Amino acid sequence: MALFRSVSFIFTGVVLLILKQKYNRPNPEIIKSYLGNFSVSFGVYFIVQFNNHLLKTNNVITALIAIVVVSLFELTDGFCVMTNV
């Protein structure tokens, strides 16, 4: 069940990342700028947690790994693939 949950949350993060460009409601600048950051952070955490079952690590280590990956994402401006805030 935890595997299904992780995969569905990863999918949610990817869908939010893809759909952010389609948003045209109030405050589109804020949503388009920060939804990418949120969805990448969200997806990365659950990707790491997905591997958490294989590595037998705890949630603190999972969160730390996710923070490192997301920080690198920010420092490299989206790994030079996409822009971010």
The pLDDT of residue 55 is: 63
Q: What is the pLDDT of residues 22-48, one digit of tens each?
A: 878 887 777 777 777 778 787 888 888
Q: Is the pLDDT of residue 12 over 80?
A: yes
Please tell me the pTM assigned to this model: 0.64
Residues 6+ apart with CB under 8 A from 45: 62, 63, 66
Amino acid at 67: I
Q: What is the pLDDT of residues 65-82, one digit of tens each?
A: 888 888 887 777 665 555
Average per-residue pLDDT in the chain? 76
